[in-house]
Structure 1
């Protein structure tokens, strides 16, 4: 992407946070200073009393997207905008995130570097899932993870798993996490899964509270596809911890890494290991 093509920036704010109004106007002023037009999505705009644009049109009319909030806001925006292939970066309005790594006080310097071409674009994997709901095929994307878990708190769940159509494992416990490298430091990490370098083309299967201690996390190459089904139980499907769907008994979900990748904009000096050390307190 040539820097001189950045003429319009689409902005998404963290939901239910009207106090971000002042921050939005500060952001708008900084971009306008560099002759970059700022447009806000209609839901965010309605929250702070500013005229906005419907999200799909926002993606079609923006050269890059900017989220203001935290990692959750960025993850949701990535998932919703994925089909449009728009580069994105996050500004954190609280504490440093794994993904939103720029604060508002650093934005002026960052935009100057953006205009000068002093930035980088990292490409990250995203999960694509397909299943049938109400006799229609549903296609979903997950930037962090897809969790298949029990629909009832009182029961454990059987999850039969096939890799490239061949029987692989049957998980018995609270469920299974399918995590991208980006999502490896989220629920996957809490469940004892591995930390994956975010630019690798792999994904992890991590059992949640398995009935057998022999069940362990597995990292698979990104070229594989998996099928998961629950032959004895209904299941709950959770996308990035934000969207939920129900799976009927015996219903299958097919999961793979999408052919396209997510484009995240970072400062040239951004270092993933520095973020890991700060967020996970390594070395303290």
Structure 2
């Protein structure tokens, strides 16, 4: 599927760049600027990134960016990708991730594949993988805040200020309470992150659900809870909570204390990620999870290796297996 341009201000495709805040991604920017000279495309970026992007890239306000781009290219790792998805959440603008990170569960394209990937997008040779989001509403004292997350939201204890104590309410029904270091609410895609590290289950991307996992629980609910897409989670922060941070996709956004409230609900198909080979991406994801201690046998790991590599190295692999026997 393709994204249709929302405006007629410019012929050709408008590509919006979102770059990692510290890593050097100038190689990809220079590549795109050179490539643009022979293609009918427009390259833009956010005003906030103007100094790092360079003078040859047009800059726009946040409102203009969302209104005018047809494709967002995130140059970084999963964190940059998540930020790009938050920027265009609720629109039909797809996000292409270019890997300048480490594990890269969300990104699919390497820097040297960038222009080829965009040419495939122009040719409509791609698909869009829908990602669910989390709508987060925080009432802290007299103030209200709203955030969007695509991996997870956590209510985490501040160092030296005790535990997080919170009552859980699901669709106005009291479910119990937590006393823990943190409470993590994750989407299926985000279930492989903080939730997984805390011992929570990995949810299949095919499941439309969210998972709630306490971190180092001391009392109350001590195991993960999986909830349906229409259920709304409410946390009423208890009296014994001095201060806790609200982290959205790993970023501290605000804090809560006793008497405050946090409400979280799933937003289906909140953003779309460009995919060229969904099967290959899924296999890479399995391999990365295996490196994070998801147990796979040697033969299962071998299946994740590209066929051409297996054929090339098959004699050596067979010799090693024979020697072990």
TM-score (normalizing by structure 1): 0.90
Greater displacement, 227-236 / 213-222 = 213-222
1:277 paired residue number: 286
Task: Check if 1:41 corresponds to 2:50.
Answer: no
Q: 1:2 to 1:71 in 2, by over 3 A?
A: closer
What secondary structure is seen at the aligned counterpart in 2 of 1:125?
strand
Residue of 145, 149, 154 corresponding to 2:156? 149
Counterparts of 1:194-209 in structure 2, within 5 Å, are: 194-209=201-216
Structural RMSD (CA): 2.3
Counterparts of 1:13-162 in structure 2, within 5 Å, are: 13-17=19-23, 19-30=24-35, 33-50=38-55, 51-95=58-102, 97-133=104-140, 135-162=142-169
Deviations 1:36-91 (CA, angstroms, capped at 9, x unpaired): 21112223231243252223321211011111011100111212331444221110
Deviations 1:178-203 (CA, angstroms, capped at 9, x unpaired): 00111111111100111112243100
Deviations 1:178-229 (CA, angstroms, capped at 9, x unpaired): 0011111111110011111224310000010111597111111111001002
Whole-angstrom CA distance in 2 between matches of 1:13 and 1:24: 9
The aligned length equals: 283
Unaligned runs of 5+ in 2: 6-11, 291-295, 299-325
Once the 2 structures are TM-superposed, how far is the Cα of residue 240 of structure 1 from its aligned partner?
Answer: 0.8
Counterparts of 1:169-208 in structure 2, within 5 Å, are: 169-208=176-215
Greater displacement, 197-206 / 120-129 = 197-206
Counterparts of 1:211-222 in structure 2, within 5 Å, are: 211-212=218-219, 215-222=222-229
Q: 1:33 to 1:213 in 2, by over 3 A?
A: farther
1:210 paired residue number: 217
Whole-angstrom CA distance in 1 between matches of 2:272 and 2:112: 23
Contact 1:224 1:256 in 2 (8 A): yes
Once the 2 structures are TM-superposed, how far is the Cα of residue 3 of structure 1 from its aligned partner?
Answer: 6.2
Q: 1:32 to 1:267 in 2, by over 3 A?
A: farther
Q: 1:30 to 1:198 in 2, by over 3 A?
A: farther
Contact 1:122 1:199 in 2 (8 A): no
Q: 1:68 to 1:180 in 2, by over 3 A?
A: same
Contact 1:125 1:199 in 2 (8 A): no
1:262 paired residue number: 271
Whole-angstrom CA distance in 2 between matches of 1:254 and 1:141: 12
Whole-angstrom CA distance in 2 between matches of 1:4 and 1:174: 45
Task: Check if 1:228 corresponds to 2:238.
Answer: no
2:305 paired residue number: none
Once the 2 structures are TM-superposed, how far is the Cα of residue 113 of structure 1 from its aligned partner?
Answer: 1.6
